[in-house]
Structure 1
Amino acid sequence: MRSRTLNIFLFIIVVLLAVLPLAFVNGEFGGADNAAEQLIQTLHPSYEPWFSSLFELPAETESMLFALQAAIGAGFIGFAIGYFKGKASRSKSE
């Protein structure tokens, strides 16, 4: 396969991996915290949490912190890949 054809093929696969799960989801996405809370209420209705948060962050702030965490992780992974690739190419040229 030529390089361009391979890139187009990989791009289509990535788009399908991102879009198909969204097309087959019935209802809305729920977080793991909500699912766990519902399961606990179903299994043990009289359960009372022994701890509650001191303050609740707005949903926008939680989303922003999650996106910031993802960006920092992606930056770290990108830096590591670039560092090791540069180190490997430097050792080949010597």
Structure 2
Amino acid sequence: MDIPVIDTIKSLLNQKLADLENFLNADVLVFSSPILDGLESQFLHIVEQLVESENKKDTLYILLTTNGGSAITVERFVNIIRKHYKEINEASSTCVEAFRQPC
């Protein structure tokens, strides 16, 4: 069952994410989760979707919210990202806040 408000929220979030990617001239990955063993295949799938996009950039910004987790999994995440991107940045709250301000 589709719930219209959820579709509207998804659409708005996707538009804001696209705006942020244009502002940063980079791909943006939002990750909000504990970093648990076994997430590598799902993470790889998400990164591969970004890479296959016709608008793929050489730079990736990561908006990361996590309470920690497996250092081994983090290392695997980093290796996945390094394989596909020349430059990797963490988008700080300052950067995101600057995006929200009128130019």
Q: TM-score, normalised by structure 1?
A: 0.25
Q: Which one has a larger percent helix, Structure 1 or Structure 2?
A: 1
Question: Relative contact order (alpha carbons < 8 A, sep ≥ 6): 1 or 2 greater?
Answer: 2
Q: TM-score, normalised by structure 2?
A: 0.23
Which is higher, the Rg of structure 1 or of structure 2? 1
